[in-house]
């Protein structure tokens, strides 16, 4: 697996002859930090997560990725290693579920890629019982979600991470996830957040634009009748209209964004805070199949640093 400039062939012969022997020579079992650093490209910091199970088995995951990030999947690589004994088919099922709720629920810039990989490998060295599986599945999920969050927080030029919680969407989780990614990819909303500007109309517009591409006006109205939108924990839209109460609210929402701000060139993130966005379609909203989508999507803002990185990418 590899990432790089699309269309350019990688020097396979040189890699096999020169890099692989050095990699084998440098193998060690003391730390995975070297691996996490070795796969970095425009990443600002290595991404590494681990979990030790009660039976002594360990799960360790590393990832790289900072730009051209939107599933399925993105210009990203992730490798997860474990000594937990598990059959291949079951490991694949657990990994697929975890990836959908993590790597497939993020976006830095809305750009998909031809190059991406998530692999889980087990050495089957630690014996496991059936009752260990729930904890193992939780560990895989926790590591994938942690690494996915690290990728967004480490996004090219990222100065804010958006956490978009969608609940009671009248449709499937996948459809709700598509809405979340559509919101995260709104250029106008991303720029507003980069500037700590609580332009709530851009958030409502992003929701409406997505629904408008899928539904007629009557269906949209029925789906949004009970919709509540929150920003920074404060209700900003309810009963079909905005709930905004003057400069004090405006300043509160702006301060929420300021508190979540990161340095665009920070080597490591100084905190794990997000710009919190909540969209609740109401408990009574279900589609014809009775489905109700509940998902969380992470997204990045859009800064001048992102433009600079990608304008100079090949030079």
Contact by Cβ (8 Å): 80, 143: yes
Q: How far is the CA of 181 from the CAs of 113, 164, 176, 296, in angstroms? A: 16, 9, 9, 10
SS3 300: strand
Contact by Cβ (8 Å): 103, 144: yes
Residues 75, 82, 200, 285: which is the catalytic one? 75
Element (H, E) at 221: helix 217-224
Non-local (6+) Cβ contacts of 20 within 8 A are none
Pairing of strands 275-280, 161-169: parallel
Q: In the beta sheet, which residues pair with residue 296? A: 165
DSSP assignments along 110-144, one per residue: S---S-EEEEEEEEEEE---GGGHHHHHHHHHHHH
SS3 230: strand
Contact by Cβ (8 Å): 215, 229: no
> Which residue is it, tokens 């100079």?
312
Q: How far is the CA of 292 from the CAs of 80, 163, 166, in angstroms? A: 31, 20, 10
Q: Give the separation between CA 208 and CA 166, rounded to whole angstroms.
A: 14
Note if 225 is an active site residue.
no
Residues marked as catalytic: 75
């Amino acid at each position: 697996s590899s990432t790089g400039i699309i269309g350019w062939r990688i020097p396979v012969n040189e890699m096999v002859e020169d890099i692989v022997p050095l990699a084998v020579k440098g193998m060690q079992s003391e730390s995975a930090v070297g691996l996490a650093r070795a796969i970095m490209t425009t990443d600002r910091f290595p991404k590494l997560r681990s979990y030790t199970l009660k039976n002594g088995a360990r799960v360790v995951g590393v990832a790289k990725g900072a730009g051209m990030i939107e599933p399925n999947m993105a210009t990203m690589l992730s490798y997860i290693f474990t000594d937990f004994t598990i059959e291949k088919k079951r490991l694949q099922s657990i990994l697929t579920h975890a990836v959908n709720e993590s790597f497939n629920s993020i976006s830095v810039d809305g750009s998909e890629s031809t190059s991406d990989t998530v692999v889980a490998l087990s050495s089957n060295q630690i014996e496991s019982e059936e009752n260990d599986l729930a904890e193992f599945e939780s560990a895989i999920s926790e590591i994938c979600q942690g690494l996915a969050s690290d990728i967004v927080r480490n996004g090219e030029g990222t100065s804010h991470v958006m956490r978009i919680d969608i609940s009671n969407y009248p449709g499937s989780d996948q459809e709700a996830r598509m809405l979340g990614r559509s919101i995260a990819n709104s250029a106008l909303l991303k720029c507003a957040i980069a500037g700590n500007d609580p332009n709530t109309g851009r958030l409502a517009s992003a929701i409406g634009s997505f629904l408008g591409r899928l539904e007629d006006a009557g269906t949209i109205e029925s789906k949004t009748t009970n919709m509540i939108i929150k920003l920074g924990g404060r209700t900003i839209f309810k009963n079909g209209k905005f709930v905004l109460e003057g400069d004090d609210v405006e300043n509160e929402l702006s301060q929420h964004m300021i508190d979540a701000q990161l340095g665009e060139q920070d080597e490591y993130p100084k905190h794990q805070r997000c710009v919190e966005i909540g969209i609740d379609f109401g408990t009574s909203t279900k589609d014809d199949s009775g489905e109700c989508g509940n998902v969380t999507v992470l997204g990045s803002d859009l800064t001048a640093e992102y433009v600079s990185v990608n304008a100079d990418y090949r030079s």
